[in-house]
A = this chain, B = another copy of it.
């Protein structure tokens, strides 16, 4: 610690401020998300969010101009977390076929919960957002890469390019939002996977 120079002090101070900002930011999103879960998407107000986050309305407005901006940030955080989770599974142990199944299963359950908890409604509301298109592209890239790997090393069909198979997978698995049980979601993953392999 004796090696710390004066110049590092402002940086540490900046970091502390940044950490504080991030903590408040996260608390706002947590509060907004609980309110959405409880009251529905369209009835949440800035006052409720401030109260639930334990901050003043003036402070809230320093972070977000309106409810839609808060919900957009909520959605971005969800999407980022899901992408990170899927990337971790893609980079995990096991052969490409096994990792593909893990990624598709997790994505199906994300869709399933989205269908049950109104996150899909949120996605529709914010659908025109550029960040949604960017996240979709990242998801397609992630899955396309893994499908290419499985086609090269496993028994995956090779008559359709990985990019098209990725589009197929993501659309097929959104059906999970309409399914009533976890068992049905597992069957959907199995059916979707069958489409990726040559027919018997």
Contact = CB atoms under 8 A, between A and B. Distances in A.
Contacts of A92: none
Interface in A183-200: 184, 187-188, 190-200
Given A194-B194, A195-B195, A168 B172 contact: yes
Interface in A29-74: none
Query: Assembly of this chain: how many copies?
Result: 2
Contacts of A160: 187, 190-191
Contact of A164 (B159, B184, B196): B184
Contact of A187 (B164, B175, B190, B193): B164
A191 to B, nearest CB: 5
A199 B188 contact: no
Interface of A: 124, 127, 157, 159-160, 164-165, 167-168, 170-175, 178-179, 184, 187-188, 190-200
